[in-house]
Amino acid sequence: MSSDKAVPPIAVVGFAHSEHVAESSGTTNGVEMLVPCFQKLYAELGIRREDIGFWCSGSSDYLAGRAFSFISAIDSIGATPSINESHVEMDGAWALYEAWVKIATGEVDLALAYGFGKPSAGDMDRTLAMQTDPYTVAPLWADARSLAGLQARAGIDSGAWTEADMAAVGARVRGGDAASLLASDYVANPLRAHDIGQYTDGAAVVILASAERAKQLVARPAWITGWDHRIDTPNFGARDLTASPSTALAGDTALGSDRSFDVAELHTPYTHQELIVKSALRLPDSVNITPSGGALAANPMFSAGLERIGYAATAITQGGADRTLAHATGGPLLQQNMVVGMSSTATEGAN
């Protein structure tokens, strides 16, 4: 977001997420997962539901199996008094961007975004196939792992990375040594189990605040220094699957030239995608990459990207870092990408 008028300082002041579980007993509208997250943040920040000026959610009607499923999620907020609310059919990271814009325009000083999904309610791979090209790809019912396998193979064949490089990422996240991981069987050649993030049910919540409110609520806000999201073509044949130009462009717009970050939380559900995104963002080896484990450790659909922003912000609010960045992705094979820069120091004019 850019304009002739500088964007006022806006900060992340709260983050919570539900437990990552392979299967939960709650409904597909996320209420059971969201209520504890809301209550946790109300208590931590000393606020009430009525203090939130704007709410925005990210989820998928396809995943929930019904139209306007996000309306039912509002039960977790409460029907009265009425709220100022919006929704995106995307990961909650994109809902947070809308919330950021709402504060930047001066309409509200406190905004909350949440994302939720329950993959265990259906066939996740079949659901994700429905977001591919409806004429050339979707009729094949290509599952996400198979598409990712094609991307990984393209990188290996081009010399961009090796299976050992992928195993090194897996070993860092899951523990063990890369050699042992390479000895395991393929799941979707050249992907092995350690290369693939496992779908989980989950929900996440992030709260943003204007400068004045942020300073009232937390001792060390995570100030947003830049934010951008871009998209590549959905036509796989028209893309170099071993690179992510949309990530690079979003990074250049949001981060500038200085990439000396303490922490980078990357939304990469496959090991080789971490290699792609790290390269696109030109991150030096000194950056601590996704210390939370990221989507490789647990991939809660439609909240994994929002979690990356939450974890990157928490590294600042808890005093463990001064400069962080977060990345979120949506669509097949890194089609859409968002990059957010954060700092312990407030600045005027964030992109």
Give the model's pLDDT for residue 7: 85
Q: In the prediction, which pLDDT does 29 show?
A: 86
The Cα–Cα gap between 51 and 6 comes to 26
* Dist CA 157 CA 144 (whole Å): 20
pLDDT of residue 242: 98
CA dist., res. 4 & res. 159, Å (int): 44
Over the stretch 160-213, which tens digit does the pLDDT of each residue have?
Answer: 999 999 999 999 999 889 999 999 999 999 999 999 999 999 999 999 999 999
SS3 204: strand
| pLDDT given at position 349 | 57
Q: State the burial class of residue 119 (Cβ atoms within 10 Å of its Cβ: 0-12, 13-18, 19+).
A: buried
The predicted pLDDT at position 59 comes to: 92
pLDDT confidence of residue 1:
45
Residue 10, judged by CB atoms within 10 A of its CB (0-12, 13-18, 19+), counts as buried
pLDDT at 28: 87
What b/e sequence results for 219-241 when a residue is b if at least 16 CB atoms lie within 10 Å of its CB, and e otherwise? eebbbbbbbbbbebebebeebeb
pTM: 0.95
Return the bridge partners of 200, or none. Answer: 300
- List the chain residues with pLDDT less than 50: 1-4
How many Cβ atoms are within 10 Å of 135's Cβ, its own excluded? 7
> Which residues have CB under 8 Å from 72's CB, separation 6+?
27, 29, 31
Is the previous residue joined to 190 through a cis bond, with omega within 30 degrees of 0? yes
Q: Specify the 3-state DSSP secondary structure of 347.
A: coil
Tokens at 199, concatenated: 């779908």
Nearest to 160 by CA among 76, 240, 53: 240
Q: How far is it, in rounded angstroms, from Cα 276 to Cα 287?
A: 15
Least Cα distance to 99 among 227, 202, 4, 218 occurs for 227
Give the domains, in start order, of the chain with CATH numbers.
Answer: 10-123+198-217 (3.40.47.10)
